[in-house]
Amino acid sequence: YCSKAAARQMVAQGEGGRIVNLSSTMGKSGRPNTSAYNAANFAVDGFTQSMAKELGEQAITVNSVCPGLVETARLDPMGRTDKWDARIAEIPLKRAAADEEIGEMIGFLCSPRAAYITGQSINVNGGVITER
């Protein structure tokens, strides 16, 4: 709903704009026991592609950012478990992302430097998923 509302306003203003949806690497590759979450994120990426094609003529770019594992305050109560260590071991850079790293990608996609990037679902995941 937010993306559609933003698009309507940008079209009405006639000056173009940037829409960045937040997805997940779970929208690129499924994991066991996460089918609903995977499906929702696959949908965000497809929605992003459709909107990009619909809004391109109005100079509106639409992309999604697909974070992998992110170190956040929400994870603090979980502690560092064997499950956490196993997830980190899957990441080629051997660490979770900082939330600022996700924000920096979003900021870039909103900048004039990203004016020719649209319809993309960009992984920010330390190399866990390198395609799609």
Catalytic residues, by residue number, are 37
* Nearest by Cα to 22 from 132, 109, 86, 113: 109
Strand order in 17-22's β-sheet? 17-22, 60-67, 121-124
Interatomic CA distance for residues 94 and 124, integer angstroms: 14
DSSP at 103? H
Interatomic CA distance for residues 22 and 3, integer angstroms: 11
Interatomic CA distance for residues 47 and 104, integer angstroms: 22
CA angle 53, 57, 59 (to 5 degrees): 100
